[in-house]
Chains A and B, each alone.
Chain A
């Protein structure tokens, strides 16, 4: 598209008279490398539109600081280290008691983030939903790509 055509389209665009197709031609033009110098100033606008359209909804598990005082109290590495030491030490202590060898060492890393079960519940729930989202993503991707791996459905239905 030559720059005169673009200028006409742009004029239409400012007036709010362009069709979706014309707008995508404009976007394509501003994506290209040879934008006329006088039109260069508008490039950022169309780039902005392109970029914004790529934003995805993927809620990450937020730091619990907004909800929980526990975390704030334990925020310094020192204090956390101390807490870890005590709990880890306890873990080791119990681990060494004969007859308890089968204790799950994983327990030693379970220093509760939340003091209240309500907050823990909310967080655990959030984690389940997050997990569910990823599982479903996997299923749809598998369906799309005819992945040879076991899909979730197979696993689930096998159970």
Chain B
């Protein structure tokens, strides 16, 4: 069993190199860190997004569901408790200016944030967020058609965990 894994791993390295050579620099960046256990890697495939679109849970917000229905893929590469600024620079340097438009850039004393989009006409079909702070690095890559207006309206605060407890809370208070 172990030998098989070893072979597989060697193959993985081989294949990764092969694939990386053809894919863009950003993918290479992603793949080069995804096996590092100190990173949090989250990937949600197009297939999974299809399954998500069929979900019918009680406390789903319609606007989140609408957004997700149009999203085809999600990748997150993150590292906590870590000076993320160097990785931020590294990631930024991988972005091909011909491919992506910079949507916004924030630089304050805590962290740097850049958001890039790939758009065809008025439709945004990829969004890339890079965050590099003194104690975190986050790269978030969304593909699919993305409705920025709705994303912006989410407000960034009404996060998941609250929803679940809400019913309970309403009884209590």
Contacts and interface: CB of A to CB of B under 8 A. Distances in A.
Q: Are A and B genuine complex partners?
A: yes
A110 B30 contact: no
A81 B64 CA distance: 33
Contacts of B22: 95, 105
A111 B35 CA distance: 12
Contact of B57 (A89, A118, A142, A159): A118
B35 A86 contact: no
B152 A128 contact: no
A124 B71 contact: yes
B18 A92 contact: yes
A78 B9 contact: yes
Contacts of A139: 104, 152
Interface stretch (B91-99, B136-144, B165-173): B136-144
A135 B115 contact: yes
A20 interface: no
B43 A110 contact: yes
A58 B51 CA distance: 30
A77 interface: yes
A109 interface: yes
Contacts of B64: 125, 128
Q: Is the contact region of chain A dominated by helix, strand, or loop, or is it mixed?
A: helix
A152 B160 contact: no
Nearest to B30: A109
A138 B105 CA distance: 7
How many of chain A's residues touch chain B, expressed as a range? 35 or more
Most chain A CB within a 10 A radius of its CB, from B18, B42, B136, B143: B42
Interface in A109-156: 109-114, 117-118, 120-139, 141-142, 149-152, 155-156
A56 B110 contact: yes
Given A106-B143, A108-B19, A131-B129, A82 B5 contact: yes
Contacts of A64: 40, 42
Contacts of A72: none
Contacts of B152: 132, 135-136, 139, 152, 156
Contacts of A107: 45-46, 73
B13 to A, nearest CB: 8
A39 interface: no
7 contacts: A81-B9, A82-B5, A106-B143, A109-B30, A117-B52, A120-B49, A150-B104
Interface of A: 56, 58-64, 75, 77-82, 84-86, 88-89, 91-92, 95, 104-114, 117-118, 120-139, 141-142, 149-152, 155-156, 158-159
Given A88-B15, A128-B68, A134-B113, 16 more contacts: A58-B133, A81-B13, A82-B12, A84-B16, A85-B12, A108-B23, A109-B31, A114-B48, A126-B160, A128-B67, A132-B152, A139-B152, A149-B105, A156-B149, A156-B152, A159-B122
